[in-house]
Structure 1
């Protein structure tokens, strides 16, 4: 290790003006062993800088190189891991922790000891040494100024002290005086020793010569001590004088403290008296207002409000401990209680009289409103009563029983008043509805589309015959009813009148309920005390209310919200609205089941409006309940239409044409689109559309299968063409799939009808070529078909001769007449079918010619007529008819 230390000093540290003090061979903890050296160094220049340098061998291993260096002042902690056992591991905490394993514990301890000494000597900020043996540090500590620590260069480091400039000058001067100072150091040292002895002797003689001055100094000290004794005596006399003054000052302080306590007590007593006078004194004006105030005038009501608020403040004042024992306080509290009870009785009696008086005035106005289908407005009553809102709040806070009694009185009175008004109002609405129904002939209501006019053709609808029922037709309109209605029987204005009446009813009820709910919330201040909700619930359930509800019920109602309590009162006041609305809806549905469409749209709109204002209000809840009934009637109307479609029976002696429920669906859709335009419940109509159209599809196929007079393809073709035209015209997005399906069915059955019909005019020719195609399909080559006995050239010529041009034209003319008998006039499909037959006939002609060319090559056999002849036949037949 000594050789390594010498090499490192020579190669690395001497060129950098550094001295190597200690070295330790280490490797990093936890990694593959790559040995390196940690060196403790100091610089030779001033100021001294102390470093820890990491040195390792080069990759070739022939020289050492400096890898990393840390300043010792950046070292925060040295952790030796274990102070009692030998452990080669240690950590150095710089900006991060470096973990090392020394080659031996002795090297580790020597290095840590050197670091400790450098830290003690050169650094102000001391490094913390953890898990280091105290014995190791004590051994490193110097025992005296001249003691040195063994260890080579470390001893030199501890003993070395630099000379200052003056010492250097003195030494240089001394050496100049003595010429042999350098050549003979022993002689120079002996001379210096002799001169030092001479100086010591001179110092001793000088000390002995100063004995006289010492004696004089001792005498002066004795005089000073006597003066101190004198001063101490005077201080004692002064202290005795101050002691007597202290006793007098203590007596004066005690007297002042007693005076201060008396003043404090007097101030507090005055504060208590002022507190009682300020907060428990009610003016004579307020007392007069509570006892005699006029509760019928605005000025008197305002005076009573101010007086009641002042009384409540006096009664609710927070008395301090002991106040309740004062006789004056007891008298004031008794006076306040009497004033409270007196005013509460006066206020209760007056408000009861106001309820009754306003009720009579309101009833007198009832008749003039009923004739116009309007409900009386209660704004004057609400305006007059709201003047007492603050007094009601006072009554609620002071006399709960009287407050609840007034609440019950108001609710009972308003329940009877509103029940009478609402009942008469709905009677007028029912009379107007019944009058509207009687205006229509036969109590039947016509349909109107988006244009306000009747749609569809009634002549074809009149051919529907409903079998299996001999009773009188119900007043409810249906898709089947429209088959028996002529244009003169349908009054477009009837449903419009019903719609206006129903809208008028809802428009009158909505502001009435909102105004009453707003008044109840403001007048009774329900948001502060929920107890009233309990009273109203008990009354609505038919239970006699008690003053003290059971604890469980009270906890239940105390948790109710303001909206719940207001709604409970509203349920009591307007308990007849939902019943009357359901009765009116039942009447409208009985008059005409299609009224449910109007009612669903109107009711949905009003429910939506009410929910936007207050989702938990009485109006929103009630209209929502009624909307369920209207939706149920709407569903029942749709189910009725489907059921009546399924009961349709077609006459066996007449052609079918456009089925009544197909035409009826068109009129229903036009009516519904008009009613549900921009409606909130469009989704309900879309669902009904799907149910109806699927029922129409199913029953069209059912009737087509049962038809005996008209071919199935014709029934399917005409009706699905009508359905496709209707859906294309109305553009109902939810029925787009059904529209495409209707078009597909129409096209398929048109093609089927054309192919089946064309087989009749050229029946033998068709049979012949079908046989030819069958032979080819069985494997016979096309050019060998002519060798078949039944399909030789002679047989082909024989069949072709049977169909000259005149016969073909005659057959086509008969076919046209037959198609004309099958098709109905309403759909106007005759020319479409005829043109399709022409195209199909030409396709068959070309197909026959192709077969002749392939199966009878070189025979020269051709048809008796050409394509031009065929076009002329079809055109002349169409024009002649």
Structure 2
């Protein structure tokens, strides 16, 4: 029997190569023919032609689960397998063998997730029944082992498949799901046979059926005799039973007499017991009546005592101390009165909690006195919360207005002022504990207070940032550098961007150093001050990027408000997503608008020196990597926006420089080294000086864009004059290598382009040298090429007898070509020197030219010695080498 394609290792490897990267493993791969309804139907032959395909069963492990797939692969134009379609075996609902196919090798696979069920599914035709059974058996086993179910099978007998599995035992590959994960193992078809038989009839059921069938066959010929024998035995047993009953009659009479006597004794005893039971019941009722009266009296006494105690406790709970009531109704929130207000809040919180059902018996909750007292306490609470909220809103606004009105607090002309919020926070901490109690009394009141605080402080922060940024730019001395870096009109030797612009990036770094930790501190203080249930942003006195988060050494613990949690139920150490969302929304109100001043510094720095974007990008990345706390969302967004803006500005500079390179293409005639090549080396040197932190990617992307445009423009310019294209290319690629030699040794990206330029240089040299050699020695090497072409078709001995290749033709050619070989070599050197603007390249080019010529001439000498005769009078390679050396 021919070898099945399922055992073709080459086919399996081709399938694995086609799905490389999908993390799937091939279980089986087999060749099939794809058609659509060709059996028993008429139609156009072209559309019903069978197409070669490969069906591959694959599996993929995902955790403890295994996914199974059916892949359809087709052959590309070059005969390489490539994926065509992918089906998930979990959607396989039906396997149907086409009845119209007399060979039984054609079947269809039905999937329940196909978009259009009206389209006729493809029919798959196997080479023989064995291949068909092997594929379908593998599909059914995977469905059972991996998916735990079997699809509907139509048109094929599973018993036939079981018999086939017994007879065929070639090695196949299947996949078992073990406890340690999916493992691909090799088993035989005998193992698969067990699986199929398990699906049909178990071993025990098969044995029972065989025993039953054996009994049935044995008795079919003796049915009448067996029935007669049973009848005779039944009659004999009945006769024996009747005789035994008749013999035991005296014994039965004696037993009945004894039972009658026992019944009379039992009736007498039952009558006596009934009399005693009535007397005992009367006695028990009398005793229970006496005990009930005594218990009721005792219970009433205990209940009365407990009721008096409970009422005393309840009255104590319902009592409102007059001093607390006065504080809660008043509107004085001076610092001197805060202690009394805090005590009143604590009492009110405890009182309200004491009247709630968990702390108060549910039977008291609906009492009129309790309901009235609860309503009174709720009224006190709402009055106090409203009064305190109005006071705090006005207090926050007054604090900020006082600071804004003092101009000396902000940066002034000639003086940068570091923001100092120590006094502001000190005054706010006076009311921190009050805010804790307001939250415990009414959580909804914090929303308006948070908005009021954010609105007031936002004005202060934006004013501080604006004044600081303005003075920072005004006090920074830096000469503006031109953005024309790669302009062709600028001389390549001119030293552009000689001015030092480091003060620009230092100014940007100073802006971040001052304000980023300030914003983090303000976010942390706001989160704790306004009672958000989130973890701390940074530990007290912690470090951010190596800088202390506090702005005054004596105020390093600004985040610690000195407050203990009032309610243990309110203290949550876990992350609360709802609280974090509310906090970030409030921080947006607190800090929104301050980013404009950071953007202004970035834009200002870009105008002075676009390359400073590299330094600013690295500075921003270092700060961004230090902001990991969830509650500092706005600061991370601000740094991310700054990083994006810096990248955008730098990309704008790169695009402008690339446009300057492309403008070189419009020049009519270009000779020698283009101006942007040495200028790019100057630019790259400057960019490497500005790299800080992780800005390597930003610069490497710029290098890639620059050099790609440079090389493309260089090739386009070279095509304008094909006669001098190779000279132009080799001079420019050599200049690119010379100018970037030092940088390419330390910068991997430039090293890649250095090697690319080196390859292009070598190719241009080879082409140019070949043209020069063939110009001077055309007849010599054409003669050799004709000989080489004929050697593919005829023997070397026959070549001297070909037209134009005789010994006489050889000698004529040698005489005309090599008679003045020294003059030809000299002409070759002069032609190489002609049109070469970079004289320093001439020695290396001449060396390459001599080596190439000698290699070609040596091949010619060997060819002549092989075809004609070694004694043929031609100059040796050594003589030619000496002639070249004398020039």
* Rounded Cα–Cα distance in structure 2 between residues aligned with 1:276 and 1:482: 98
* Rounded Cα–Cα distance in structure 2 between residues aligned with 1:669 and 1:605: 23
425, 440, 446: which is aligned to 1:382? 425
* Rounded Cα–Cα distance in structure 1 between residues aligned with 2:448 and 2:211: 96
1:127-526 equivalent positions in 2, closer than 5 A: 250=289, 253-254=292-293, 257-258=296-297, 260-277=299-316, 279-283=317-321, 286-287=324-325, 290=328, 295=333, 297=335, 301-316=338-353, 317-318=355-356, 330=372, 334=376, 337-338=379-380, 341=383, 345=387, 348-349=390-391, 352-353=394-395, 355-357=397-399, 359-361=401-403, 363=406, 366-368=409-411, 375-396=418-439, 398=441, 403-432=446-475, 435-436=477-478, 439=479, 443-444=480-481, 475-480=482-487, 484=491, 489-491=496-498, 493-494=500-501, 496-526=502-532
- Deviating more after overlay: 683-692 vs 576-585: 683-692
799 and 271 in structure 1: CA distance in 2 versus 1, 3 angstrom threshold: closer
* Rounded Cα–Cα distance in structure 2 between residues aligned with 1:354 and 1:141: 118
TM-score, scaled relative to structure 2 = 0.56
Q: Which residue of 2 aligns with 1:95?
A: none
* Rounded Cα–Cα distance in structure 1 between residues aligned with 2:243 and 2:703: 106
Tell me if 1:620 matches 2:628: no
Task: State the 1:416 CA deviation.
Answer: 1.6
- SS of the aligned residue for 2:210 comes to coil
Q: Which residue of 1 aligns with 2:757?
A: 742
* Rounded Cα–Cα distance in structure 2 between residues aligned with 1:34 and 1:256: 81
* Rounded Cα–Cα distance in structure 2 between residues aligned with 1:432 and 1:609: 29
Cα deviation, 1:19-71, whole Å, max 9, x if unaligned, reads xxxxxxxx9852157989xxxxxxxxxxxxxxxxxxxxxxxxxxxxxxxxxxx
* Rounded Cα–Cα distance in structure 1 between residues aligned with 2:321 and 2:332: 18
Contact map agreement 1:704 1:712 (CA 8 A) in 2: yes
- SS of the aligned residue for 1:576 comes to coil
Q: Which residue of 1 aligns with 2:87?
A: none
Tell me if 1:647 matches 2:659: no
Which consecutive unaligned segments of at least 5 residues does structure 2 have? Answer: 1-205, 250-267, 535-575, 791-797
Cα deviation, 1:490-529, whole Å, max 9, x if unaligned, reads 33631x332222222233332222222222222223459x
Cα deviation, 1:837-867, whole Å, max 9, x if unaligned, reads 2212333543565577666976645489923
* Rounded Cα–Cα distance in structure 1 between residues aligned with 2:349 and 2:594: 40
792 and 720 in structure 1: CA distance in 2 versus 1, 3 angstrom threshold: closer
- SS of the aligned residue for 2:587 comes to helix
Cα deviation, 1:745-781, whole Å, max 9, x if unaligned, reads 2111111222333456xx3xx1442453476478693
Q: Which residue of 1 aligns with 2:855?
A: 843
Contact map agreement 2:411 2:471 (CA 8 A) in 1: no
Task: State the 1:371 CA deviation.
Answer: 5.7
Contact map agreement 1:645 1:695 (CA 8 A) in 2: yes
Cα deviation, 1:162-215, whole Å, max 9, x if unaligned, reads xxxxxxxxxxxxxxxxxxxxxxxxxxxxxxxxxxxxxxxxxxxxxxxxxxxxxx
Tell me if 1:752 matches 2:732: no
- SS of the aligned residue for 1:628 comes to helix
* Rounded Cα–Cα distance in structure 1 between residues aligned with 2:667 and 2:208: 108
- Aligned pair count reads 598
Task: State the 1:323 CA deviation.
Answer: 6.5
751 and 640 in structure 1: CA distance in 2 versus 1, 3 angstrom threshold: same
* Rounded Cα–Cα distance in structure 2 between residues aligned with 1:110 and 1:273: 99
31 and 347 in structure 1: CA distance in 2 versus 1, 3 angstrom threshold: closer
TM-score, scaled relative to structure 1 = 0.56
- SS of the aligned residue for 1:703 comes to helix
- SS of the aligned residue for 1:632 comes to helix
Cα deviation, 1:309-332, whole Å, max 9, x if unaligned, reads 211221342265566765697468
Q: Which residue of 2 aligns with 1:578?
A: 595
Q: Which residue of 2 aligns with 1:719?
A: 732
Larger radius of gyration: 1
Contact map agreement 2:618 2:693 (CA 8 A) in 1: no
Cα deviation, 1:240-276, whole Å, max 9, x if unaligned, reads 9x98998699468536524532541442243033133
Contact map agreement 1:527 1:561 (CA 8 A) in 2: no
Q: CA RMSD in A?
A: 5.3
Contact map agreement 1:479 1:665 (CA 8 A) in 2: yes
Contact map agreement 2:436 2:531 (CA 8 A) in 1: yes
Task: State the 1:606 CA deviation.
Answer: 3.6
Cα deviation, 1:451-510, whole Å, max 9, x if unaligned, reads xxxxxxxxxxxxxxxxxxxxxxxx42543389557676533631x332222222233332
Task: State the 1:663 CA deviation.
Answer: 3.1
Higher relative contact order (CA 8 A, sep 6+): 1
Which consecutive unaligned segments of at least 5 residues does structure 1 have? Answer: 1-26, 37-87, 90-100, 114-134, 148-224, 445-474, 529-558, 875-881
199, 209, 212: which is aligned to 1:30? 209
329 and 364 in structure 1: CA distance in 2 versus 1, 3 angstrom threshold: farther
